[in-house]
Amino acid sequence: MNRIPICEVIDQRPLTDNDEPSSVFRPLSGDECSVALTHVRPLQAPLADCGPSRWFDGTDRALVFVLGEADCVVDRGLEAVVAGMRPGELREFCVGDGRGGRVTGRVRLSAVRKTAGGAGWRGDDRLKLAEAARHKDLGNRLYGQGRFVDAFHRFNRAARAVLFVRDVDAVRGDWDAMYAVVCNNMAACQLRLGNYEHAYRLSCKVLAVDPRNVKALVRRCQASAELRMFEGALVDAVRALDIEPGNAVAERYRNVAARGVDDQNARYGDMVKKMFA
């Protein structure tokens, strides 16, 4: 399976200078962080899958970002370093892109400001569902750009927001719909990345709450076929076509699964003949 890198913090260590931390509290997800970056040097270039991030180009600069909103692996690495710091603290770091590329530098956490986004995460259940919808929409945009790893992380954040809902029964319809969508979207990312076991499990989660979800049936069918579980793939393809006749992907994988079942039955028949010959 292809590993989906959350972030890669290779090394970090605090540096002593004249500025002492101004607070004992570290930033939380949703907090706005002001940082100063210096001594930034790419060790191996080009860095892979870094999306729009350009802070690692060797230029000293000030950055302001909301913790937890990064959309590339290098930015998530920087966030992981900052999340362990206190305001005023200076650290030296080395983060990677998950594929051998590395960038080093120093970061000072200048200030932390609480934002509405952080409060919303701890707010009522409707706000959590709204937060899930926001991450889903951002993930859809990344998916459309072909950035399947970064899209997966956005969908995963949406799923976390859904799972933090306390009174599920009070928002059952909206909860089921959002949970099905984000699990389906994560399954689509895993299929793109060749992680068929994970795609299969995510599709099963969708079908547990929505047994007639055609996208989940088709994606589980695709994953099953790639895993050579042709009988299950055929069942899912037929079910999907019963619900949505003419679905092109379901038709294609129904044919793939049918050929796979025939081939497996033929090999089994040959093996039985040899056993009793």
Domain of 62: which CATH number?
Answer: 3.10.50.40
Query: Could you give the CA distance from residue 136 to residue 156 in angstroms, rounded to a whole number?
Result: 9
Residue of 120 and 24 predicted with greater confidence? 24
Q: Are residues 161 and 60 in the same domain?
A: no
Q: Are residues 13 and 136 in the same domain?
A: no
Write down the mean pLDDT value for the chain.
Answer: 88
Residue 1 lies in a domain: no
pLDDT at 119 over 50: no
Tens of pLDDT, residues 157-207: 999 999 999 999 999 999 999 999 999 999 999 999 999 999 999 999 999
Question: 266: pLDDT confidence band, cut at 50, 70 and 90?
Answer: confident
Q: Are residues 85 and 216 in the same domain?
A: no
- List residues bridging with 112 in a β-sheet: 33
pLDDT at 18 over 70: no
Tens of pLDDT, residues 203-236: 999 999 999 999 999 999 999 999 999 999 999 9
Q: Are residues 45 and 152 in the same domain?
A: no
φ/ψ of residue 95, rounded to 5: -120, 155
Per-residue model confidence (pLDDT) at position 206: 98
Range(s) of the domain holding residue 83: 8-118
Alpha helices in the chain (DSSP H): 73-83, 116-121, 125-144, 148-163, 172-192, 196-209, 214-226, 230-243, 248-275
Q: Are residues 31 and 92 in the same domain?
A: yes
Tens of pLDDT, residues 54-99: 677 778 899 999 999 999 888 999 999 999 999 999 999 999 887 8
Domain of 259: which CATH number?
Answer: 1.25.40.10
Query: Could you give the CA distance from residue 66 to residue 230 in angstroms, rounded to a whole number?
Result: 45
Q: Are residues 69 and 108 in the same domain?
A: yes
Q: How many CB atoms lie within 10 A of CB 228?
A: 12
Tens of pLDDT, residues 136-166: 999 999 999 999 999 999 999 999 999 999 9
- List residues bridging with 111 in a β-sheet: 34
Tell me which residue of 9, 152, 153, 158 sits closest to 79, measured CA to CA. Answer: 9
